[in-house]
Amino acid sequence: MTLQQLKYIITIVNCGSISEAAKQLYISQPSLSNAVKELEEELGIEIFVRTPRGIALTNDGIEFLAYARQVVEQAELLEQKYLNKKPARKLCSISTQHYAFAVQAFVALLKELDENEYECTLRETRTYEIIEDVRNLRSEVGILYMSDFNRKVISKLLHENDLAFYPLFAAEPHVFISVSHPLASRTMIDIEELDDYPCLMFEQGEYNSFYFSEEILSTRTYRKKILVSDRATLFNLVVGLNGYTISTGVLSQDMYGKQITSVRLRTDEEILVGYIVNQKSSLSKLALRYVDALKQIIAEAGHPLLS
């Protein structure tokens, strides 16, 4: 087992595929595949398994990756101290449901980051993929919500994959609508009052279960429903079609200006937003700083933080 092989494994995980990792490492894909196979044979474990979505870490692979990252990090510290080698780029990957405050925290982190080089990734993606990203350590932190409706299913999935959920704040459901919407002046809206308007939701791909929906009341029948894949499209449709989406009510005026407003939705449900981590690995200093930035953004928005 060599330090180079450890770096190969880390790069493959960061890239999400052997082919992309080979490009970044400037070696052929067969050479990289052989290096992984030789390491697996030497250790007597299987590190990666192929899935319909590409490669994924096995349970042994997840545990191995945690140790590999520690070894590579310590080796880099030795090289910096005794060989005057330039520090490696700071790396951090976050996966999240489509929340503006998650982006704001990411911006805040990078603004205060005193580093000459870094390579950070922010994935706004589907619920199941967030869980997969953190399980496979492709992302250190995943941000999602739980409610009375989805808690049992999501909690079971997290437990089966050795993931821990840490609550950040509890939100009363709101709808995001255009400031020119006929109901924009209201302080409270009943869901039935929105039936004449398009309901906008984030599509969840092949894992399109009600339990993975990013919006509460996912089992309700909507006369008009539009599924979208990104937040910019959703908010353009909110403005252009007088549509609405159900969310936490935490709205960034810096990102959306004066076009969107948030109105309380009358419902007994509660949105519990939190972050998930892989219990087999420790968060990097950069990931910890991101969580701190996240908490600060949420507190500034007026939401009491949960311990």
Sort strands 118-124 and 90-96 into parallel, antiparallel or unpaired: parallel
Percent of the chain at pLDDT above 70? 94
Sign of CA dihedral 222, 145, 256, 287: negative
Phi first, then psi: give them for residue 36, nearest 5 degrees: -65, -45
pLDDT for residue 188 is more than 90: yes
Torsion of CA 275, 281, 284, 287, to 10 degrees: -10
Least confident of 54-58, 161-165, 265-269: 54-58
Select from 29, 62, 31, 32 the least CA-distant residue to 45. 62
Split at pLDDT 50, 70, 90, the class of 76 is confident
What is the distance between the alpha carbons of residues 253 and 5, in angstroms, rounded to a whole number?
46
Q: pTM here?
A: 0.80
Residue with tokens 């908010």: 235
Select from 189, 155, 199 the least CA-distant residue to 265. 189
Split at pLDDT 50, 70, 90, the class of 87 is low
Q: What angle do CA 154, 94, 128 make, to 5 degrees?
A: 30
Which ranges constitute the DSSP H helices of the chain?
3-15, 18-25, 29-43, 59-82, 100-111, 127-135, 151-160, 231-240, 253-256, 285-300
- What domains appear along the chain, each with residue ranges and CATH number? 1-88 (1.10.10.10), 170-272 (3.40.190.10)
Average pLDDT, the chain: 90
Residue with tokens 């911006």: 107
pLDDT on residue 282: 82
- Give per-residue pLDDT as tens, 111-155: 887 767 777 899 999 999 999 999 988 899 999 999 999 999 999
pLDDT on residue 136: 86
Distances (CA, A) of 95 to 41, 98, 102, 251, 268: 32, 10, 9, 19, 28
pLDDT for residue 257 is more than 90: no
pLDDT for residue 284 is more than 90: no
Least confident of 83-87, 152-156, 172-176: 83-87
- Give per-residue pLDDT as tens, 195-238: 999 999 999 988 888 999 999 999 999 999 999 999 889 999 99
Neighbouring CB atoms inside 10 A of 131's CB total 22
What is the distance between the alpha carbons of residues 139 and 78, in angstroms, rounded to a whole number?
26
* 285-300 and 100-111 helices, crossing angle to 10°: 120
